[in-house]
């Protein structure tokens, strides 16, 4: 089958990167992945080890004969959370590193960059109405600030060089091979541990990894995507307690939810210095994904229920321990 073009995927050995490489290959693209070091888990036709991403990364070989770049690689965590230079560390990778890649891509003749940013650019929570692309950005914290600055830098480079830029802002992404908080939640549900979240009545948007890869693929090919920013979601918002019940059902378990006042939980989070983490459990974060549907005609191929089932199936076969 003739290739539909060569796509460079940065962060190809990450959770989203591996899924995207498989999806693009199935769609007929020639896929080149990049990683920091040699990797044997990249589902791409070829890969480059580019080392640390920053203002001095050499992208020349990785960008040769590339048509599209999908930029996933980012600084997400920094171990020294109390460091005074925390924002500088995020900017080094997420801002300066992204600028270096974009300028190198423009020089190499790359037509378009699809940049996977974060809904955190819009803010940490919603109150009564979902985030939309036209809302004033309210990033909080080094990660969100660096993502917003990277978006602005990309738009400026697009004006200067003519390279097309598409920006995607996903909420929490889940699916097979997921890690971090979502995997931890699945393990708690699987073990049948009682959780004091029965009284939580928030609304949060989620995004199945198959929906994210589908949206990225649409943004690679659609002419109307150029210069646009899109928010994404599965299209169904759920409370934390509802999510736990549906996860339990997908795992064949019974959810053990205990009623507990959210106000008291917030107070405990404040005392323990974990207010932000508590708000991710108790607060709302809703996303309006109508723009990508209107502009590109894109619809999420997987409903939330289907995404949870696929995630649970993977968990039962490979991650349960």
User: Which residues are catalytically annotated?
Assistant: 143
Given a contact cutoff of 8 angstroms between Cβ atoms, the answer to whether 73 and 11 are in contact is yes
Euclidean distance between CA atoms 82 and 260, whole angstroms? 31
Q: Which residue has the tokens 């791409």?
A: 44
In terms of phi and psi (left: phi > 0; alpha: psi -120 to 50; beta: otherwise), the region of 162 is left
Contact 213, 256 (CB under 8 A): no
Cβ-based neighbour number of residue 123 at 10 Å: 17
Among left, alpha and beta (phi > 0; psi -120 to 50; other), residue 237 is beta
- Distance from C-alpha of 182 to C-alpha of 33, rounded to nearest angstrom: 25
Q: Are 131 and 119 in contact (CB under 8 A)?
A: yes
CB 62 within 8 A of CB 38: no
Instruction: Look up residue 73 and give its two tokens.
Output: 């690689």
Is residue 30 within a helix (H) or strand (E), and if so which, with residue range?
A: strand 30-35
> How far is the first Cα of the chain from the last one, in angstroms, to the nearest whole number?
41
């Amino acid at each position: 089958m003739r290739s539909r073009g060569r796509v460079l995927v940065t962060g190809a050995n990450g959770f989203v990167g591996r899924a995207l490489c498989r999806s693009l290959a199935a769609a007929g693209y020639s896929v080149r992945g990049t990683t920091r070091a040699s990797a044997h888990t990249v589902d791409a036709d070829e890969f480059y080890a580019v080392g640390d991403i920053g203002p001095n990364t050499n992208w020349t070989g990785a960008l040769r004969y590339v048509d599209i770049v999908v930029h996933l690689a980012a600084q997400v965590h920094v171990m020294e959370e109390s460091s005074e230079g925390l924002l500088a560390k995020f900017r080094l990778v997420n801002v300066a590193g992204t600028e270096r890649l974009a300028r190198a891509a423009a020089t190499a003749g790359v037509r378009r960059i699809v940049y996977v940013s974060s809904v955190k650019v819009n803010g940490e929570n919603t109150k009564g109405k979902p985030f939309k692309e036209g809302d004033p950005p309210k990033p909080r914290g080094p990660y969100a600030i660096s993502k917003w600055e990277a978006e602005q830098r990309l738009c400026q480079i697009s004006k200067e060089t003519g390279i097309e830029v598409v920006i995607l802002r996903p909420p929490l992404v889940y699916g097979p091979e997921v890690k971090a908080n979502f995997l931890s939640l699945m393990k708690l549900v699987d073990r049948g541990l009682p959780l004091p979240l029965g009284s939580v009545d928030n609304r949060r948007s989620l995004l199945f990894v198959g929906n994210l890869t589908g949206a990225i693929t649409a943004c690679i090919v659609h002419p109307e995507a150029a210069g646009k920013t899109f928010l994404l979601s599965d299209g169904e918002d759920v409370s934390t307690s509802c999510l736990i019940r549906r996860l339990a059902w997908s795992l064949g378990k019974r959810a053990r939810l205990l009623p507990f006042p959210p106000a008291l939980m917030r107070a405990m989070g404040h005392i323990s210095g974990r207010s932000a983490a508590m708000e991710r459990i108790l607060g709302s974060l809703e996303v309006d994904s109508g723009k990508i549907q209107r502009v590109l005609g894109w619809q999420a191929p997987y409903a939330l229920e289907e995404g949870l089932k696929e995630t649970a199936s993977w968990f039962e076969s490979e991650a349960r321990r």
